[in-house]
Amino acid sequence: MSDTNVADFPQNNEQATTDVGGVAGDRLKSFIERVERLEEEKTALMEDIKEVYGEAKSVGFDIKIIRKIIRLRKMDGEKRREEDELLELYKAAIGMHS
Amino acid sequence: MSDTNVADFPQNNEQATTDVGGVAGDRLKSFIERVERLEEEKTALMEDIKEVYGEAKSVGFDIKIIRKIIRLRKMDGEKRREEDELLELYKAAIGMHS
Amino acid sequence: MSDTNVADFPQNNEQATTDVGGVAGDRLKSFIERVERLEEEKTALMEDIKEVYGEAKSVGFDIKIIRKIIRLRKMDGEKRREEDELLELYKAAIGMHS
Amino acid sequence: MSDTNVADFPQNNEQATTDVGGVAGDRLKSFIERVERLEEEKTALMEDIKEVYGEAKSVGFDIKIIRKIIRLRKMDGEKRREEDELLELYKAAIGMHS
DNA sequence: ACCGTGGTTAGCTTTC
DNA sequence: GAAAGCTAACCACGGT
């Protein structure tokens, strides 16, 4: 935390939190840390998602198909074309080559 | 959930969970729903992040600057980790196992 | 080159280059071939890189180490650039235009 | 070149090129620089490719379609499915919605 | 409203 | 064949 603290860049390290160069240091720092905390959580979530996919894969599912299904459900409606692709994937997965 | 349930596609809708076309329907459905739940959380998090940025902006900060600082700080962390890994590699190369 | 010429797909094969279905055939073809040529060069370059690694390996170096060093050096460059950009941003924020 | 020279890390800076810790410094440095040079060229090429796409776009072409054509030509054969997608894209481009 | 940039995801290659 | 790193494609945001 101390060595490469970029956020402190235009800031004095005296006791108080006051402005330097027109930038309210502490306020800024607080925003930065809030974002960083949220991004950490987001990263954790992304890892969780990956794990679920890994689990599904290890049980024999085709991740590509699952992803497509999820995307499809999100779109939900329009894009019938995607459904066609899914159908093709299913057929390929079953070994039913078109 | 009922209208465009693509996941059910190659599946019979009888009572049980059994295989259809080599795909274990219920198992699949469970994976899909877990991912969807996690992605919802992720979306919420992304909204939170946006809010923080918005708040910062409304108080006069430049979002671009904040983003760059955060990226820089992330790079610091990554760089340090890479350096540690490199050191490990060197040690291993010399035969100095940790 | 002649057998599966997909690019010609929506095109008439008459003498001239004119539009078919709203797509200017010759123009399109030219772009495609330029990209393909560049990608060939890129592929060659990637092979060269591989060769260098192979050579290094054959002389006893640990490729993993070399890769990591290169990545680290690249990060250094990127970080410096980012820092410069941040400085510019700060200056702009203060109204100190370079 | 002088400040963060990671490659020099476990190396003495005396006059000669000799081994330190079992690693032949100069030799290593040479490999690293060769790779870096090649990667620079590769990056330049990637930029050129982007430019071509940009040019095509500025003249009204749909980059997505061009990419798909190029991919298709590279695959050349197998993957009739891709061709179907291309057909759909064409139809959409022309405004002929399926 | 468009463009450019940056961040996310997906596919591929390569390594263990 | 599983895991990771790399590359490429995609998408969304912010700025102009």
CA A61-A65-A66 angle, 5° bins:
75
Give the pLDDT confidence score for residue C70 in this predicted structure.
95
Give the pLDDT confidence score for residue C78 in this predicted structure.
93
- Tell me the nearest-neighbour CA distance from C49 into chain A, angstroms: 31
**Using a CB-CB distance cutoff of 8 angstroms, which residues of chain B are in contact with residue D6?**
83, 86
C96 in contact with A, Cβ within 8 Å: no
Separation of alpha carbons B6 and C64, rounded Å: 44
Burial (CB count <10 Å: 0-12, 13-18, 19+), residue B62? middle
- Spell out the domain ranges in chain C: 22-61, 62-98
Query: How long is the CA C61 to C1' E4 vector, in angstroms?
Result: 42
Separation of alpha carbons A7 and A26, rounded Å: 10
Q: Which among A9, A19, A28 is the top mutation candidate for probing chain C, defined by the most C β-carbons within 10 Å of its own β-carbon?
A: A9
Query: How long is the CA A64 to C1' E12 vector, in angstroms?
Result: 14
Sorting pLDDT into bands at 50, 70 and 90, what band is D1?
Answer: very low
For residues B25 and B19, is the Cβ–Cβ distance under 8 A?
yes
pLDDT digits (tens, 9 = 90+) for C20-46: 545 578 888 899 999 999 999 999 999
pTM metric for this prediction: 0.77
Specify the nucleotide whose C1' lies closest to residue A71 (CA): E9
Sorting pLDDT into bands at 50, 70 and 90, what band is B93?
Answer: confident
Give the pLDDT confidence score for residue D48 in this predicted structure.
93
Query: How long is the CA A67 to C1' E10 vector, in angstroms?
Result: 10
For residues C8 and C21, is the Cβ–Cβ distance under 8 A?
no
Interface of D with A in 61-90 (CB under 8 A): 80-81, 84-85, 88
pLDDT digits (tens, 9 = 90+) for D25-82: 888 999 999 999 999 999 999 999 999 999 999 888 889 889 988 888 887 655 666 6
Q: Is the pLDDT at A35 greater than 90, yes or no?
A: yes
- How do B23-24 and C19-20 pair as beta strands? unpaired
Give the pLDDT confidence score for residue B10 in this predicted structure.
43
**Using a CB-CB distance cutoff of 8 angstroms, which residues of chain C are in contact with residue D59?**
27
D22 in contact with B, Cβ within 8 Å: yes
Q: Which nucleotides of chain E have an atom under 7 angstroms from any protein CB?
A: 4, 6-11, 14-16
Long-range contacts of B47-51 (CB under 8 A, 24+ apart): B48/A38, B49/A35, B49/A38, B49/A39, B49/A42
Which of A77-86, B54-63, C79-88 has the weakest average pLDDT? A77-86
pLDDT digits (tens, 9 = 90+) for B32-65: 999 999 999 999 999 999 999 999 999 999 999 9
